[in-house]
Amino acid sequence: MEAIMEVPLSSTWKNPTLDKYDGTIDSDEHVDTYLTQVSLYTAKDALLCRVFPTSLKGATLSWFTRLSAHSIDCFDTLVAKFGAQFTTSSPHHLTSIALVNIRQEKTKS
């Protein structure tokens, strides 16, 4: 990841104005919001990786800083690892089949 972090920022670069991710909301939604804001300035893969940590906080930022060196070769890899790590933050959509299979215990009123 060190080589990716060496990409220079444009003089017109401004950090995206979005809430920092802390693991309590949908990780896919965070990435979509981040990409939307950052793509206003650039589509360079290395730059996306360089500024992504500025959109994280708390445990999610700690996770990012503990990634193995050279484990991120492109933004898609970063998004895949991010999604795998924080997929439990995504909302769970119950289907009608899942609802039908819910059973009340005999000891519960």
pTM over 0.75: no
Contact 70, 81 (CB under 8 A): no
Overall size of the chain counted in residues: 109
Instruction: Dump pLDDT digits (tens) for 66-98.
Output: 888 778 888 888 889 988 888 765 555 667 776
pLDDT at 40 over 80: no
Tell me which residue has tokens 């215990």. Answer: 105
How far is Cα 102 from Cα 98, in angstroms, rounded to an integer?
A: 7
The Cβ-side half-sphere exposure at 82, using a 13 Å CA radius, reads 28
